[in-house]
Amino acid sequence: MVSNKPHSQSIIFNDYGYSQEKLLDLYSSMLKPRMIEEKMLILLRQGKISKWFSGIGQEAISVGVTKAMQEDEYILPMHRNLGVFTSRNIPLNRLFSQWQGKASGFTKGRDRSFHFGTQEFKIVGMISHLGPQMGVADGIALGHILKNEQKVSAVFTGEGGTSEGDFHEALNIASVWDLPVLFCIENNGYGLSTPTTEQFRCKDLADRGAGYGMESHIIDGNNILEVYEKISGITESMRVDPRPVLIEFKTFRMRGHEEASGTKYVPQKLMDEWEQKDPIMNFQQHLYDKGILNDELLNEIRKDIQAEIDENLQLAFSENSIESNSTKELNDVFEKFVYQEVSADSEKENIRYVDAISRALKESVQRHDNLVLMGQDIADYGGVFKITEGFSEEFGKDRIRNTPICESAIVGTAMGLSINGMKAMVEMQFSDFVSSGFNPIVNYLAKIKYRWDQNADVVIRMPCGGGVGAGPFHSQTNEAWFTKIPGLKVVYPAFPYDAKGLLNTAFNDPNPVLFFEHKALYRSIRQDVPVDYYTLPFGKASIIKEGSQASIITYGAGVHWALEIIEEMGYNNVELIDLRSLQPLDVNSICESVTKTGKAIILTEDSLFGSLASEIAALISENCFESLDAPVMRVGSLETPIPFAQNLEKEYLPKDRFRDKLQDLIEY
């Protein structure tokens, strides 16, 4: 509790010539989050809020950094950075409503505490996985560079978070690309209960900057004037000379990781030492000693803050509990997208699947001047499949960007570009490598619209599939990892015409799209494709062949396997459905076909357990049961990793088994 009693001053302050008004503003800006926290701790004990992560003892960092930033510069705080939110003057009733899960908050009750962002106040809140927000800060900063804006983005992490791979990936990207990101480490001694001695071996975390060729500084995180002065100077320099800077703030957390944790694991002597370094009490005593602050003025400041807290708490408490329904909830998973069909009446050219992908990319880069393509080796080299060959010469390396091998932070960077009003594409060199970027896709891109109404305008291209002897790490078809994640769209074309039209739509759609491209089709499948730009809708299957004997439902390479086997076996009266779009899925076309034929077989290159084929089989059984004349059949790859040797891969893939299964279905 902050008091008016004299305090033994443990911090030496330099006023840097600041006016009395500035000094008092910095003081009251720290006092405000402290007083809010003290109130929240009371409400927590009363059961009126569910959880609290305390920043008591660290207020000088949040306040000093925020005050040094321009109001239209993005800050990405953590859950101990209340001072960021209050210094950006977010109405307190909205903060209090957020913590109570009410409608006036920022997430419509869908996320808690500080897990939110707001474009209005240029704050991008954390997710519990901590690390991904570092890459997001890179993307925001890259957006500023590409738009020729002299802006800085600031991102916070704790010393524990610096052990995450995303931290290192983000620092590397920022350094290689000279991005104006202020990386703020709040070293408060403990990651929950684990002391720094058990987290890293370097003397200071700031030393890690040298490994990335990055400027770094150590700042006393409890000295508000040192924080504000040094960060003001550093950010001013970064705006003129764009570059990343790593800051280690030495500080301490005076309460538990969250209130239920307690602090029994902290030696009392250490607690006593840091209590003497309290940032507010020390600065308060300094202002008393300078004659700038006295009891009367302090009481007035406290009275004003307390009145603001009480008034806004009353507003939050008087607000009704949030109400919703399934329609509202489902409608907020994706950013609204009104598909606009663009037809091409131009001449057609017989091109390969890989050419169709390349042309869609080129047309979309031309059409969207805010679109940035990122991926390993995609610039001068043109990517491992040569899809972007010549792009960097035509569009420049600012927009066609080679990336370090760091899938996770690059996905985060794409998210940051979207937050900063741009579009991004990430090419996974092989879809197998997406496992290294899985976390930001399923926990950041997929959830952000639902959480706080921010869309993720990101396309992730996924060269996938077997049949090319590439072995276990370059052959997976892993679409099922993503089709079950709400918030992601998944597209998987089988023909050049579809690939071009659907990829163009993917770049128009403001939602995250995973675009699967089967490598074995790249140079083996040709088709007449319009030369001009056109689009195709998501969620609409293609009826490749009409019939009434049975329904074959498949996608990707499975379409071509099915066509070959149908012709080989002389089954001229079967219906073949190419799904094209897996999420959204064209359930109507599936059910209409199965209702007509009475028999269904689903072919997937994926292994069966947990596959999309299993989900489609369940949908058919649930919706078309009375029309079925035979069990719904599924055919997929073996339940093994994908082998390398040609004869083993042939046995792994489902093509031959599909032939037998289709015959069983027809003859049932």
Q: Are 375 and 368 in contact (CB under 8 A)?
A: no
Residue 203 CB partners (closer than 8 Å, separation 6+): none
- Bridge partners for 157 per DSSP: 185
Contacts of 491 (CB under 8 A, 6+ apart): 502, 503, 506, 513, 514, 515, 516, 538, 580, 581, 582
Across 546-667, the runs of DSSP E, i.e. the strands, are 551-554, 575-578, 581-583, 600-607, 633-637
- The DSSP-derived string for 65-127 is HHHHS-TTS-EE--TT-HHHHHHTT--HHHHHHHHTT-TTSSSTTSS-TT---BTTTTB----
The two three-digit tokens of residue 203, written as one number: 């003397």
Three-class secondary structure of residue 306 per DSSP: helix
| Residue 23 host element (H or E) | helix 20-45
Closest to 227 (Cα-Cα) out of 208, 249, 245, 244? 249
CB 357 within 8 A of CB 517: yes
Tracing tokens 């074959």 back to the chain, one arrives at 552
The identity of residue 540, as a single letter, is K
- Annotated catalytic residue 560: no
Give CA 613 to chain center in angstroms. 28
Give the helix/strand (H/E) hosting 446: none
Q: Are 550 and 599 in contact (CB under 8 A)?
A: yes
Compute φ and ψ for 526, nearest 5 degrees. -120, 155
- Give the whole-angstrom CA distance, residue 392 versus residue 503: 20
**145 in Cβ contact with 194 (< 8 Å):** no
Residue 474 exposed, middle or buried by CB count within 10 Å (0-12, 13-18, 19+): buried
Please tell me which residue in 79, 144, 286, 474 is annotated as part of the active site.
474
Query: Residue 554: which of 565, 541, 566, 564 has the closest Cα?
Result: 541
Preceding peptide of 584 cis, ω within 30°: yes
Peptide bond into 244 cis (omega under 30): no
Which two structure tokens, joined as six digits, stand for 654?
A: 């489902």
Residues classed as catalytic: 474
